[in-house]
Amino acid sequence: MDAKPKIYMDVCCLNRPFDDWTQPRIRLEAEAILEILAACQARQFLLFSSTALENEINRTPDPLRRQRVLESLDIAHDKIIVDQSILDRAQEIATIGCKPFDALHIACAENAQADVFLTTDDRLIRKAQANPSDFQVQVANPLQWLIQNATSSGE
């Protein structure tokens, strides 16, 4: 892999490492996310943050969890500042049935020209798979993406 993958994670993805690891799916996704974040910290991948992420994370009721999730964004390569063009694009994305915050995060990922938008939201992944021409960024589960990325890079 020549270019470093540009990654945008949504809030459910960033929260996953703090969820209940007794469920196998959650544990596997959390481990994948921690691996991806470690690769971002080592600058093997480039993580993008946004003011939309910060806004949604700041709504987290648990102050310790909120702080930990916000701290995970400290390794971001760059932060996308939501502007009118991003809001307009988010409205377009919302018309195909995406929730407002999901649409806003996808618009931010597109603005960052991210290679992948990672989410643990199966409904959102299905929506993107059913309407690929409506998205300018790949939408993927972090575990599936990491497996494919590690395989494609020959690791």
Residue 1 lies in a domain: no
As a whole number of angstroms, the distance between CA 90 and CA 17 comes to 27
Residue 25 lies in a domain: yes
> Across residues 115-131, what is the average pLDDT?
95
Residue 150: its pLDDT value, please? Answer: 74
Give percent of the chain above pLDDT 70: 95
Phi-psi region of 43 (alpha: psi -120 to 50; beta: other; left: phi over 0): left
Tell me, what CATH number does 101's domain have? 3.40.50.1010
Residue 35 lies in a domain: yes
Instruction: Pick the closest to residue 122 from 12, 23, 41, 28 (CA basis).
Output: 12
| Contact assessment for residue 7 and residue 118, using Cβ atoms and an 8 Å cutoff | yes
Split into its structural domains, the chain has a count of 1
Structural domain harbouring 35: 6-152
Residue 149: its pLDDT value, please? Answer: 85
pTM of this prediction?
A: 0.94
Residue 152: its pLDDT value, please? Answer: 56
Q: Annotate the chain with three-state secondary structure.
A: CCCCCEEEECHHHHHHHHCCCCCHHHHHHHHHHHHHHHHHHCCCCEEEEEHHHHHHHCCCCCHHHHHHHHHHHHHCCEEECCCHHHHHHHHHHHCCCCCHHHHHHHHHHHHCCCCEEECCCHHHHHHHHHCHHHCCCEEECHHHHHHHHHHHCCC
Instruction: Pick the closest to residue 108 from 82, 128, 144, 134 (CA basis).
Output: 82
